[in-house]
Amino acid sequence: MNKKGLAILMRTRMRPNDARDFARSPLANLVNQTLPNSDGSQSSGRLVQGAPQQRNEKLNASSNNERDFEVVRESMHSAISLSKTEILDSVLNDFSEGYFSLSYENRRKLLELLAKEYDLNRTQVRDLIKQYLGLELPGGSDNAPSTGTEEEACLSAFYRIERNLRYALKPAYEVLFERLNTHPGGLKFLSILRADILSILAEENIVSLRALDSYLKEKLSTWLSPAALELHQITWHDPASLLEKIVAYEAVHPISNLIDLKRRLGLGRRCFGYLHPAIPGEPLIFIEVALMKNVAQTVQEVLWDDPPSPECEATSALFYSISSTQPGLQGINLRRFLIKRVITLVKREMTNISTFATLSPIPGYMQWLLSKLASQSKLSEGEDIQHSPADTSGSTFWENILEPEEERALMDASVEFTSGKNSMEVLFNLLTSPNHEWTSSDKLLSALKPSLMRLCARYLLQEKKRGKALDSVANFHLQNGAMVERINWMADRSEKGLNQSGGIMVNYVYRLGKIEDYARSYFSSGHIHTSSDLSRYVKPLEEPQVTTL
């Protein structure tokens, strides 16, 4: 291929979310939407990877549903009840292939069955605990203290029943999970299984299935403990099969074509992933880092074509994207370990890097602000009370969101655009206008900037829920020991950026040597460390934090 042809190929637009190449299961076909995960990160969609048998599923699914279901149910039963034997491998193969051939309805039926009928043997549990209650604690009576050997014998009985009780409290489906874990491809299958379970639970809260999920999640957390994971630097030298996954799952700033991909892995950048030996060639999560002289303030600075400065002159490592490739591993927090490992590694290998920062979205800001504006607007109308900013008595729910100067500037600038009963309704309308019109007027932008920035700082630094930062991404970094350094206006003008946070992005900074202290104070008292620049945005409160319910 000539140079021109190659250049064209490299720039051809890839459609990363069009992952039909990853044979999707019928379940994912129904549930393919991009929802933020509970920790604020994005996943590209509930992609469920099927086995090569996917090609046959159209043939099987419709005509042979009932027969397939019973067959699969049988193989699941065998997988659980079979005594320790060598044929387990083929039974597990049968089961997983059979599972992939089932329709959504049948998978749901099977999983509910698993949750209900392969649960605990409650009779056995009751028997054991009755025995246990019959035991006397050593040294518990007022008689003469028991001798060493008496005490040992007494303790023996406790240990024995406690151990048996631990076993009896393990649901039978644990056997299936354990066996799959040691089976080639089994861990991946479990991850897919859990993705299906989460989809089902998102539609209906089935108690027994939720209990099963809770158990499975614990098991997966154990198996995916960082001790078992390998950190791998992802580069252009990695297999295409691995890189394809990077493209498919890049959740924060989608990769547009091959040249973009090559850049993301090239000069001035690093890309690291966590792999598990049982799921080879597929990073469970990966992080993208840009090496720069300063801490980037906008997305555009990070997604450069050519690095702004040579690598050897870089003093900052900027984490600008963390993506997860396994919807079934939702809730299992691997990101934290990944960041920690990457910081350690970069610190060691690139001694010129002294600053570790992120350029992060603020996924909850707009949602919080709009809801506040809406409720305050209503209250304002309903109450019709003259409040001075100093008046904190009376209704505890009313608060002056905008400051007087902000209100004035807002009303002035918004005259041509929208109207409303009060400043809050006006702001609400502006922010929810289609196509984000407000961003196209310089006048509006400069009118809105002070308030939006101030309120964003407040949202990040002061809004809490049960002692933790309300914004999930903030909470994540703060738990890791980061501080909130700076917020950046119009840092992300994309649809998503404007929707989530009015285009504002935040830099969290991991200060070497302070990480442990900051994490500890955040954990114990919810204290959020911030730069002096940022703290000037927020009025100091009497109590250190405002807790919203």
| Residues catalogued as catalytic | 360, 477
Which is closer to a copy of itself, CB of 232 or CB of 293?
232
SS (H, E, C) 409-420: HHHHHHCCCCCC
- Quick one: tokens of 67? 């027969």
Q: Does 187 interact with a copy of itself (rule: CB under 8 A)?
A: yes
Q: What is the dihedral of CA 11, 12, 15, 18, to 10 degrees?
A: -140
Which is closer to a copy of itself, CB of 404 or CB of 467?
467
Among 18, 21, 66, 86, binds a copy of itself (CB under 8 A): 86
CA 100-106-107 angle, to 5 degrees, is 50
Among 58, 378, 520, 539, binds a copy of itself (CB under 8 A): 520
Q: Does 169 interact with a copy of itself (rule: CB under 8 A)?
A: yes
Q: Give CA separation, 74 vs 95, 233, 355, in Å.
A: 8, 43, 57
Which is closer to a copy of itself, CB of 29 or CB of 225?
225
Terminal alpha carbon distance of the chain: 62
Among 58, 163, 421, 539, binds a copy of itself (CB under 8 A): 163
Among 2, 62, 134, 137, binds a copy of itself (CB under 8 A): 137
Beta bridge partners of 463: 546
Amino acid letter, residue 533: D
Burial 279-311 (b: 16+ CB within 10 A, else e): beebbbbbbbbbbbeebbbbbebbbeeebbeee
Q: Does 466 interact with a copy of itself (rule: CB under 8 A)?
A: no
Least distance to a copy of itself, CB of residue 459, Å: 25
φ, ψ of residue 548 in degrees (nearest 5): -95, 145
- Quick one: tokens of 175? 């056997």
Alpha-carbon span 264 to 246, nearest angstrom: 10
Do the Cβ atoms of 508 and 485 come closer than 8 Å? Answer: yes
Alpha-carbon span 90 to 383, nearest angstrom: 71
Do the Cβ atoms of 358 and 482 come closer than 8 Å? Answer: yes
Q: Give CA separation, 478 vs 2, 301, 355, 471, 520, in Å.
A: 50, 24, 16, 10, 10
Total H helices, total E strands in the chain: 23, 10
Beta bridge partners of 357: 318, 509
Interface mask toward a copy of itself for 244-283; x: CB under 8 A: ---------------------------------xx-----
Q: Does 186 interact with a copy of itself (rule: CB under 8 A)?
A: yes
Among 1, 66, 87, 351, binds a copy of itself (CB under 8 A): 87
Least distance to a copy of itself, CB of residue 125, Å: 8
Interface mask toward a copy of itself for 23-52; x: CB under 8 A: ------------------------------
Among 15, 55, 166, 465, binds a copy of itself (CB under 8 A): 166
Q: Under rule CB under 8 A, which residues in 101-130 are in contact with a copy of itself?
A: 120, 122, 125-126, 129-130
Residue with tokens 């600075």: 301
Q: Under rule CB under 8 A, which residues in 339-368 are in contact with a copy of itself?
A: none
Which is closer to a copy of itself, CB of 53 or CB of 479?
479
Beta bridge partners of 287: 272, 322
- Quick one: tokens of 31? 């549930």
Which is closer to a copy of itself, CB of 437 or CB of 517?
517
Q: Which stretch binds a copy of itself (CB under 8 A): 158-166, 312-320, 443-451, 536-544?
A: 158-166
Least distance to a copy of itself, CB of residue 337, Å: 8
Q: Which stretch binds a copy of itself (CB under 8 A): 64-72, 154-162, 388-396, 535-543?
A: 154-162
Which is closer to a copy of itself, CB of 137 or CB of 144?
137
Q: For the sheet with 483-488, list strands across it.
A: 230-233, 269-275, 285-292, 316-324, 355-358, 505-510, 483-488
Among 63, 70, 136, 159, binds a copy of itself (CB under 8 A): 159
Q: Does 203 interact with a copy of itself (rule: CB under 8 A)?
A: no
How many C-beta atoms lie closer than 10 Å to residue 12's C-beta? Answer: 11
Q: How far is CA 500 from the centre of its chain?
A: 16
Least distance to a copy of itself, CB of residue 60, Å: 27
Which is closer to a copy of itself, CB of 233 or CB of 298?
233
Count of positions on this chain that bind a copy of itself (CB under 8 A): 54
Interface mask toward a copy of itself for 204-233; x: CB under 8 A: --xxx-xx--x-------xx-xxxxxx---
Alpha helices (runs of H) in 54-121, residue ranges in sequence order: 54-63, 65-81, 88-101, 104-117
Q: Under rule CB under 8 A, which residues in 278-307 are in contact with a copy of itself?
A: 278
Which is closer to a copy of itself, CB of 56 or CB of 156?
156
Q: Contact positions toward a copy of itself, by CB under 8 A?
A: 83-87, 90, 120, 122, 125-126, 129-130, 132-133, 137, 152-153, 155-156, 158-159, 162-163, 165-166, 169, 181-182, 186-187, 206-208, 210-211, 214, 222-223, 225-230, 277-278, 481, 515-517, 519-520, 523-524
